[in-house]
Structure 1
């Protein structure tokens, strides 16, 4: 932030603190906001030839916005990333304009670049089962294999994010028929736990050399510390190569698969939204967009005016 005026730097810091406190944004999100907005402010400084105080920032024009977007594109930034950066800049400017009393139209009217949303790639049901079984075989140590299998079973069987599975504590075992999960934005949800997931975790606990201390991580690394997400990503990479599955067969793909397979089995989209912990139904639809044919099939069979 060396190119940014002290007033602009202070304003950015105050805004970031507000995002953290009022919107409960994650550290990852705050870091991204900071980089994106600081990058914009740094560009404006260079573009204008001098550090921009708050008064100067209120005079940003449509031409300035186009210059920044063209520069960002020229850095090899794709449409999706540029759209994210623009969203952060607009959010900052809405707040700044309200605080400083100026009209932010030039910034807010900048058009978000169009991009094609990437559809998730869930695994086929048999591939998901094969993945769970093959993950266990990647370690020569019984308890490590059982651990990895238990984690991946939770991703697929309960639709957990990897951070949620690895966030479980010793106090959570033995797993009950439901789990209380604190997800993104500290939103709480209750998810049912399949007998297969209960059994996988119970087997891991029997083999694990470390005791299940109430406040300690349930899933341990080989030295007893918290298991890292990278360890599960790596073991799934090894398994997918053995199975001939695509690079999209990641831990998050197991969560996609959970949602899609539930929908295929006739699950209700809003119920699946609750299970996944999505704030918006549109996010859940993106998870299951690959099964539009299934939705149409249900519609045609059940809608009173269909047919």
Structure 2
């Protein structure tokens, strides 16, 4: 989840179906003002004449629902049910130097990391000591399971012994595809699909240390970080667009199908259904396809519980900008 260049208005989309706003379940009841505030975080990065008109109107303090209805059209992209999951910003105890308690490093991006081809796998990095002695350690954590999940989330807050907070953010990965250890645990028969949550995975790994490392190494992808010094404490972590994401209003999407920066209406069909206008401001290595989104749930332990339990069907509808009128 690394900052990107300004984004184009419409990446290639397929199987589009135009809808009306009245087709969006719960549209009139949503808090459109909260959605507009999230949209304003990144709208200045959007390129194209249609976006220039939209961002000028957004900055003029319009009626929020009328704004979205005037400048956008709802488009259903792809077919089949959507899959919604959640992500969050962990807050973990750690230290800036190694100790008996804090002995699991998180690393900065190495200078020799290739841009376009795979590098060493997770197993080769961790078992082979490829990064040791290079001064790349940003911080040290006490739990290898939490260190792994910090990479999955792509950002976090590290509570230091002196009470300070170090925020870290994604700064690249080793080029190997992400592989879900949750799906591997289901394949091995440790869980059923109905039982699997992030909390359940963590608890199982801690109870079974002899199998923990091999399961973590199933995911060959490895993430590198950078320290953040310019993000206010009350803001979320940086998304792919290089701006803070907003709890409950920002989603990670596949930019091959959903333009970064675009509003997206989501309807989840889980036990706690969501009918809400989100903004596509992030990406993730596991977020692929036109009906796929990861909802940013916030920071800290409770956000982690919420995110870890979220795996719902539904549908997502992209609000595409209307063409500029001559």
TM-score over 0.5 for the alignment?
no
For normalisation by structure 2, the TM-score amounts to 0.24
For normalisation by structure 1, the TM-score amounts to 0.25
Larger relative CO (CA 8 A, sep 6+): 1 or 2?
2
Give the structure with the higher percent helix. Answer: 1
